[in-house]
């Protein structure tokens, strides 16, 4: 089983996440291949983990043999229908195949066995996997993609390949796979209104109350928008520095100057 990325401290239900869920449902329904792309740090992995409930399922799937899985795990798998996999750097395609293949098999068997127990009817395992999300898909080479295409053809399921912008171009080099791509979805950064909502939480964490209509706060918000462009990861890194700057200087209000001072300590430009 591939390593599972850590859960965010507290998930925020954003418009982008809802758009992602819609996209994933369309891919699942049409049993097609979908590409999801967007710059680093905007929430692609977090959305996929939330959709698949993988942070809950994966540790259980590793802990127990599928035959010993309980109804609770089976229900979680059945609800999600989704297997999440992070393509690893330097992994051989056999490793990838074994890792993801095993997850898909166990996941399918856990659900199937539960159905069998309840109804007394035999079911086929892997067909229980309705969607596979592969994260960091630019790490996949031709052999990986060929195997995935074959799995896709055999199992009548949806596949989402997630990566940075440019992944569409990269995938177009594999015509057989590319011809099966039904949707391409751009994951976008937080828009202004939602960013303000997220910022209110950051303000609160610092023990402050934000007032959007107040000049100082409006200026500080504008500075955050400028610096982060609505990127979740940059927001977190920026606010870790904001907290530091405020503490060191014993400040009690969050101004544009504080944001600027925090920004200057960051190496930004990854987006
Ligand atoms: N909906 C959300 N609610 C709360 N925090 C979030 C949310 N989305 C993203 N984050 C925070 O932003 C960070 C970056 O998100 P994530 O890892 O999903 O980005 P990514 O788009 O997958 O980036 P990369 O391309 O570098 O893998 C997360 O670690 C998380 O802390
Ligand atoms: Mg990611």
Distance 41 CA to ligand 1 centre (A): 5
Please provide the average confidence, as pLDDT, over all residues in the chain. 90
pLDDT above 70 for 3 = no
Calculate ∠ Cα 218-224-230, nearest 5°: 115
Residues 79-93: what's their mean pLDDT?
90
Residue 266, pLDDT > 70, answer yes
Instruction: Please tell me the residue having the least CA distance from ligand 1 atom 27.
Output: 40
Q: What gap in Å lies between CA 86 and CA 101, rounded to an integer? A: 13
Supply the pLDDT for residue 49: 97
- State the Cα angle at 241 between 198 and 165, rounded to 5°: 60
Say how many residues make up the chain. Answer: 271
Query: pLDDT per residue over 164-177, tens digit each?
Result: 999 999 999 998 88
Measured distance CA(251)–CA(119) in Å, rounded = 64
What is the reported pLDDT for 2? 56
Residue 270 has pLDDT above 50, yes or no: no
Domain spans in the chain, listed from the N-terminal domain onward: 15-186, 192-264
Whether the per-residue pLDDT at 271 is higher than 50: the answer is no
Among the listed residues 132, 120, 57, the one whose alpha carbon sits nearest the alpha carbon of residue 96: 132
Please give the pLDDT value at position 46. 97
Instruction: Inform me whether the pLDDT recorded for 26 exceeds 60.
Output: yes
- Does domain 192-264 sit in CATH 1.10.8? yes
Atom of ligand 1 minimally distant from the CA of 14? 1
Residue nearest to atom 25 of ligand 1 (CA): 40
Mutate to test the pocket of ligand 1, among 43, 84, 231, 238 (most ligand atoms within 8 A of CB): 43
- What mean pLDDT is predicted for residues 66-81? 90
User: Using CA atoms, how far apart are residues 256 and 199, in angstroms rounded to an integer?
Assistant: 14
Q: How many CB atoms lie within 10 A of CB 238?
A: 22
Residue with tokens 């507290």: 10
The whole-angstrom separation of Cα 216 and Cα 256 is: 7
Determine whether the shortest distance from the Cβ of 163 to ligand 1 is under 6 A. no
CB 28 near ligand 1, within 6 Å:
no
Q: Looking at 33-47, 123-137, 183-197, 232-246, which range is the least confident one?
A: 123-137
How many secondary structure helices (H) and strands (E) does the chain include?
Answer: 12, 5
Helix (H) or strand (E) run with residue 191 in it: none
Three-state DSSP at 89 gives coil
CA of 114 to the centre of ligand 2 (A): 32
pLDDT digits (tens, 9 = 90+) for 88-133: 888 788 888 889 999 999 999 998 888 888 888 887 655 689 999 9
Residue 143 has a pLDDT of: 86
- What per-residue confidence (pLDDT) applies to 216? 94
Ligand 2 centre to CA of 39 (Å) is 9
The CATH architecture one would assign to domain 15-186 is: 3-Layer(aba) Sandwich (3.40)
Contact indicator for 177, 134 with CB cutoff of 8 Å: no
- Cβ neighbors of 99 (< 8 A, separation 6 or more) are 1, 2, 85, 91
Please check whether residue 203 is in contact with residue 254, taking contact to mean a CB–CB distance below 8 angstroms. yes
pLDDT for the residue 126? 52
> Whose CA is closest to atom 18 on ligand 1?
43
Please name which of 205, 245, 198 lies closest in space to residue 221, comparing C-alpha atoms: 198
> Which ligand 1 atom is at minimum distance from the Cα of 6?
29
Nearest ligand atom owner, CA of 38:
1
């Amino acid at each position: 089983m591939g390593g599972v990325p850590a859960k965010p401290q507290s998930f925020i239900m954003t418009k982008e996440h809802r758009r992602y869920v819609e996209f994933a449902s369309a891919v699942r329904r049409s049993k097609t291949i979908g590409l999801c792309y967007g710059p680093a740090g905007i929430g692609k992995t977090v959305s996929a983990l939330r959709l698949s409930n993988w942070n809950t399922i994966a540790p259980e799937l590793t802990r127990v043999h599928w035959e010993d899985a309980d109804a609770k795990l089976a229900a979680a798998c059945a609800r999600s229908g989704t297997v999440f996999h992070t393509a690893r750097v330097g992994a051989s395609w056999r490793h990838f195949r074994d890792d993801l293949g095993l997850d898909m098999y166990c996941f399918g068997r856990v659900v199937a066995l539960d159905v069998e127990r309840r109804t007394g009817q035999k079911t086929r395992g892997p067909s229980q996997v309705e969607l596979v999300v592969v994260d960091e898909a630019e790490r996949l080479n031709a052999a990986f993609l060929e195997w995935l295409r074959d799995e896709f053809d055999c199992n009548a399921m949806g596949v989402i390949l997630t990566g940075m912008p440019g992944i569409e171009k990269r995938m177009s080099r594999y015509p057989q796979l590319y011809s099966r791509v039904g949707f391409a979805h751009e994951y976008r950064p937080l828009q202004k209104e939602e960013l303000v909502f997220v910022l209110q939480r950051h303000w609160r964490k610092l023990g402050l109350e934000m007032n959007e209509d107040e000049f100082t706060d409006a200026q500080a918000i504008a500075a955050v928008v400028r610096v982060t462009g609505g990127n979740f990861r940059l927001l977190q890194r920026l606010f870790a520095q904001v907290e530091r700057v405020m503490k060191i200087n014993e400040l009690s209000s969050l101004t544009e100057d504080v944001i600027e001072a925090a920004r200057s300590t960051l190496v930004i430009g990854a987006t």
